[in-house]
Amino acid sequence: MTFFDVLDILGTTAFAISGALSAMNRKLDLFGIFIIAFVTAIGGGTMRDVLVGNTPVSWMQNTTNIYLIGSITILSIMFRDKLDYLKKSLFLFDTIGLGIFTIIGVETGINAGLQPIISIALGAMTGCFGGVIRDILCNEIPVIFRKEIYATASIAGGICFMVLYSFMINPEYIYIITTLLIILIRLVVVRYKVSLPIFTLKKSR
Amino acid sequence: MTFFDVLDILGTTAFAISGALSAMNRKLDLFGIFIIAFVTAIGGGTMRDVLVGNTPVSWMQNTTNIYLIGSITILSIMFRDKLDYLKKSLFLFDTIGLGIFTIIGVETGINAGLQPIISIALGAMTGCFGGVIRDILCNEIPVIFRKEIYATASIAGGICFMVLYSFMINPEYIYIITTLLIILIRLVVVRYKVSLPIFTLKKSR
Amino acid sequence: MTFFDVLDILGTTAFAISGALSAMNRKLDLFGIFIIAFVTAIGGGTMRDVLVGNTPVSWMQNTTNIYLIGSITILSIMFRDKLDYLKKSLFLFDTIGLGIFTIIGVETGINAGLQPIISIALGAMTGCFGGVIRDILCNEIPVIFRKEIYATASIAGGICFMVLYSFMINPEYIYIITTLLIILIRLVVVRYKVSLPIFTLKKSR
């Protein structure tokens, strides 16, 4: 098991918890919770594999993901009262998942021989898609559409990854630094209500 | 024409009717009705083919599906008053489609050499996706999100399929038994308001 | 650079502007505007490539698209006051994109050896998908669901393409005539409030 596999498991776990929380919040039944947890956790990676042409997509290649997500779902249900303060827990796990899946997406792009800027775009799509699909299925406003910086944190992380990569830094450090940067950006932004410029349109009809 | 092809045609027909009904309910124009009927009927199979890497996806391989869906759409429009009681008709055809497409998905997984539990997941996604995309496009709450058991019936059917398959039962029997089981579960559940446990979160913010 | 590449650039530009306008209307931040512009511009083509099995999808093959969309986004932000009258600008650019991407989709289908009617369906999906995904992400009612004829214009254009193609007319003329026809249909329809028949369901419950 490589360091990369560990990251994959952590990201899957974080997104599965965020999916299970959303589904419980929506009062879905047992299997409904599992389905949303599953789709949230594998959504980004599936999108990535389909776009690159890596099929059957990776969650089909072995049963690790499905058993992991099943266990996480059961644990999330059992300890749902510890995951209290839904909004905060959801935010935290969603952010961890975003960070990890972004770098997995960027890495996949590099390995497929794609241009750096394309790899950054692939990373952002991989990181964001799980959360977007979770929100669409749960009838929430998609995360990338909310005021908190989301895609921006992912793209900033992708750029950081590429810069470090060009300096030939040890990949494991790159993974850790980039993931932490993405998580940090999102935490700081929400905590201090930082925001990027918004461009309003003149009143029109 | 194999028994499997017959099933495929029945499932496509059922989902096309459910799509046409949804679209008429939303007052879409002629082509709009056709588009929704088409997307509902081919959605699940397209998702399945894309995930497994079977491209060009199956509805592109021949014109059977497109002419079938076109005819069904016209018939649905002509006999729309017989399909009265929209909610009941929609429910019935949607359930038949769910049952049939679930087993086609499971079978595809087995043929692609995927693990049993992965095949069950593929079956559930194949069965549910057409209805979900129909509901998203028609601005309805997606079926898997409603109170009636939906994904659960599909997963239960997939498990039943695998058990019967392991006993080497004649495939045609497996198809029929599993499909009927899925339809039965959904009918019984809605009729008697059975429900799986729901896990509520503590009031939180 | 072929005539086809020019069309591709025009279509991408039109959809990128329509995406940027939608995103600014929704008050997304800088990167959010870029993401929506990007997804709108590449959505249809990505769908087309995934269905046909042409992976890695075309926007990953070179950096033209990503720099083009980036520049268009910046220009859209700078000149947002010239793009005043949001609704009209959005409508215009969305319609140009619909026309161009429809014929690119039809052409792709022909080149992949698909049946004419399948190619028309592929063209309609390619043309409509970018706008649909933009609207879903921006929480608008998807374009194909609104009263203005949308998918219908795309399908009519696809049929016209096939008729001209069967007469062996010079491809460049086919592209121009079909694209203009789609744009014209949509403009006329909205201007004169033409509509296709709508089939209402009897009041039911």
- Whole-angstrom distance, CA of residue A40 vs CA of residue A69: 10
> Is the backbone peptide bond immediately before A56 cis, with ω within 30 degrees of 0?
yes
CA-based nearest residue to B43, from A46, C127, C125, C39 = C125
Q: Verify whether the Cβ–Cβ distance B60 to C132 is below 8 Å.
A: no
The structure tokens 């693990």 sit at: B115
Taking residues B28-55, what's their average pLDDT?
Answer: 88
- Confirm if B101 and B44 have CB atoms less than 8 A apart: yes
Q: Is the dihedral angle over the CA atoms A114, C57, B111, B156 positive or is it negative? A: positive
Q: What chain A residue is nearest to C91 in terms of C-alpha separation?
A: A205
- pLDDT tens, chain C, 205 aa long: 787 788 888 889 999 998 998 888 887 778 778 888 999 999 999 999 999 988 889 899 888 899 999 999 999 888 877 766 666 777 888 888 888 999 999 999 999 899 999 999 999 989 988 888 888 777 777 766 666 678 888 889 999 999 998 887 888 888 889 989 998 998 888 778 776 677 776 654 4
Chain C residues with CB-CB distance to B under 8 A? 50-53, 109, 112, 114-115, 117-118, 121-122, 124, 128, 132, 136, 141-142, 144-145, 149, 151-152, 155, 195-202, 204-205
Q: Is C205 exposed, middle or buried, given 0-12, 13-18 or 19+ CB atoms closer than 10 A?
A: exposed
Which of the residues C24, C29, C33 would you substitute to probe the A interface, choosing the one with the greatest number of A C-beta atoms within 10 Å? Answer: C29
pLDDT at res. C205:
41
Q: A22: part of which helix (H) or strand (E)?
A: helix A3-25
ipTM above 0.90 for this complex: no
Q: Verify whether the Cβ–Cβ distance A196 to C30 is below 8 Å.
A: yes
- Confirm if C149 and C194 have CB atoms less than 8 A apart: yes
Tens digit of pLDDT for each residue in B101-153?
999 999 999 998 999 999 999 999 899 888 888 887 777 767 666 666 788 88
Q: Is a pLDDT exceeding 50 seen at residue B51?
A: yes
Task: Compute CA C94 distance to the chain's CA centroid, rounded to the nearest angstrom.
Answer: 6
B28: chain C residues, CB-CB within 8 Å: 145, 198
Tens digit of pLDDT for each residue in C86-127?
667 778 888 888 889 999 999 999 998 999 999 999 999 899
pLDDT at res. B67:
93
Q: Verify whether the Cβ–Cβ distance A60 to B142 is below 8 Å.
A: no
Which of the residues C24, C25, C27, C28 would you substitute to probe the A interface, choosing the one with the greatest number of A C-beta atoms within 10 Å? Answer: C28
A114 Rama class: left (phi>0) / alpha (psi -120 to 50) / beta: beta
- pLDDT tens, chain A, 205 aa long: 788 788 888 889 999 998 998 888 887 778 778 888 999 999 999 999 999 988 889 899 889 899 999 999 999 888 887 766 666 777 888 888 888 999 999 999 999 899 999 999 999 989 988 888 888 777 777 766 666 678 888 889 999 999 998 887 888 888 889 999 998 998 888 778 776 677 776 654 4
- Whole-angstrom distance, CA of residue C137 vs CA of residue C87: 18
Domain ranges, ordered by start, for chain A: 3-191
Q: Is a pLDDT exceeding 90 seen at residue B91?
A: no
Q: Verify whether the Cβ–Cβ distance C195 to B25 is below 8 Å.
A: no
How far apart, in Å, are the Cα atoms of B138 and each of A88, B24, B66, B75, B147?
32, 10, 21, 20, 19
Q: Looking at the partner chain, which of C53, C124, C197 has a beta carbon nearest the beta carbon of B29?
A: C197
B196: chain A residues, CB-CB within 8 Å: 29-31
Q: Verify whether the Cβ–Cβ distance B144 to A32 is below 8 Å.
A: yes
pLDDT at res. A160:
93
B53 Rama class: left (phi>0) / alpha (psi -120 to 50) / beta: left
Q: Verify whether the Cβ–Cβ distance A137 to B145 is below 8 Å.
A: yes
- Whole-angstrom distance, CA of residue B50 vs CA of residue B181: 27
Task: State the average pLDDT for chain B.
Answer: 84
Confidence at B85, pLDDT banded by 50, 70, 90: low
Q: Which chains touch C (3 or more CB pairs under 8 A)?
A: A, B
Q: What chain A residue is nearest to C55 in terms of C-alpha separation?
A: A53
